[in-house]
Structure 1
Amino acid sequence: MGATVGGGMTLKFAFPPSVDTDTRLLVLGSLPGDASIRQGEYYAHPGNGFWSLIGEATGEDLRAIPYAMRLQRLRARGVGLWDVMESAQRQGSLDGAIRDAALRDLGQFAGHLPALRAVAFNGKMAALHGRRRLGHRPDLALIDLPSSSGAYASMARAQKTEIWGGLRDWVA
């Protein structure tokens, strides 16, 4: 999961990207939560609505298939996954507990994705850091999404689904 660094904080590390040269839409989170880190899977916590929300946008019930196939189906539709942070200190899984984040060079990374047309940020923390790291990119649509986390309960699920549904325009 990570290395304990004191004060109850643990240094946690993100996953490698799930992308290919046909990625048109890159969905960026902040940093995987504890359940995801334990399982080695993006959005593994059962209370996280990511797979349902992105499934609505792609028109597929991704929750019903094994994880490796979920990633494969997203890539087949031009959708990639990654996080804005390489690592950070955090106790628990909440973005608000993140300290000393090591941010990724998203501008350089995006330059290696020739088909990339849009970057969607899963939650405020991802948008805050991701937009800064990408800089001014008139070639990319930058899309802020409400967090898929179950901890973000101030927005109704139907409203989240509607907003995430806007990703349909970028999905093959």
Structure 2
Amino acid sequence: MSAAAPPQLSGFPPVLAPDARVLLLGSFPGVASLDVGQYYAHPRNQFWRLLGACLEVEALHLMPYEERLRVAVRHRVGIWDVVASCRRQGSLDAAVTEAEVNPLAAYLKVHAPRLECIGFNGGLSWKLGHHLADYGYRVFRLASSSPAAAMYSFEQKLEQWRPLFACRS
């Protein structure tokens, strides 16, 4: 008897204003995020702490989710994922199968014409999206904010993330 296929999952729409200069692209929401319908909802994911430090917005990670999104948009930062839908058991990128990638280049050209820089939050997002450099974007491979990326300290991750935010000026 074979095990059932993992469920087909769908990601979230982009958080992206037309004046965005920076886009953070993850791979696909984890289980905790899918459960509550929020980007980076796992309490040990460092995304919101890293973003707050890069934007110099103290305690961003403690704000209500909708306020975190408003702060990102106000700072011309977008949030999205490379994968639109996939099958996956659990939260690890290594478990992603049948990935359908978002139409990144076409969407960004229309909806974020001032976008300059894209940061890829983790290896799978980089693998599936770094070709966006071919469209004129400056691309940055970032250490993942995921708790699974424990080989880097918060400070080491922050050092990798900060250069991306020079694009907002």
Give the structure-2-normalised TM-score. 0.93
User: Which consecutive unaligned segments of at least 5 residues does structure 1 have?
Assistant: 1-5
Q: Tell me, in whole angstroms, the C-alpha distance in 2 between the residues paired with 1:22 and 1:101.
A: 29
Instruction: Give the 5 Å matches for 1:33-52.
Output: 33-52=30-49
1:85-136 per-position Cα deviation (integer Å, ceiling 9, x unaligned): 110000000000000100111110121111101111000100110124x361
- Write the deviation string for residues 32-64 of structure 1: whole angstroms up to 9, x where unpaired: 000000111000000100000111100012112
Larger deviation, residues 43-52 vs 158-167: 158-167
On the 8 A contact 2:118/2:164 being kept in 1, the answer is no
Q: What secondary structure does 2:49 align onto? A: helix
With 59-68 and 30-39 compared, the bigger mean Cα shift is at 59-68
Higher strand share: 1
CA displacement, residues 132-153 of structure 1 (integer Å, 9 cap, x when unaligned): 4x3612x311111010000111
For 1:82 and 1:66, the matched residues in 2 are separated by 19
Structure 1 residue aligned with 2:120 = 121
Code of the residue aligned with 1:107 in structure 2: it is A
CA root-mean-square deviation = 1.3
What secondary structure does 1:147 align onto? coil
Contact 1:83 1:126 in 2 (8 A): yes
CA distance in 2, matches of 1:79, 1:33: 21
SS of 2:13's partner is coil
Aligned to 2:83: 85
Whole-Å separation in 1 of the counterparts to 2:16 and 2:24:
10
Change (3 A) 1:135 1:63: closer
79-88 or 151-160: bigger deviation? 151-160
**Change beyond 3 A, Cα 1:117–1:87:** same
Unaligned residue ranges in structure 2 (runs of 5+): none
Tell me, yes or no, if the aligned pair for 1:58 and 1:171 is still in contact at 8 Å: no
CA contact (8 A) 2:133 2:139 kept: no
8 Å CA contact retained: 1:107, 1:135:
no
- Do 1:57 and 1:171's aligned partners in 2 also have CA atoms closer than 8 Å? no
* SS of equivalent residue, structure 2 residue 48: helix
Measure the CA separation in 1 of the matches of 2:26 and 2:162. 17
Indicate yes or no: 2:138 matched with 1:141: yes
Q: 1:164 — aligned with what?
A: 161
Deviation at 1:8? Answer: 5.0
1:155 aligns with 2:152: yes
3-state SS of paired residue (1:81): strand
- 4+ residue runs of structure 1 moved beyond 6 angstroms? none
Q: Which sits farther off after the overlay, 7-16 or 35-44?
A: 7-16
Aligned mates of 1:156, 1:65 — CA distance in 2: 23
C-alpha contact (below 8 Å) 2:87/2:96 kept by paired residues: yes
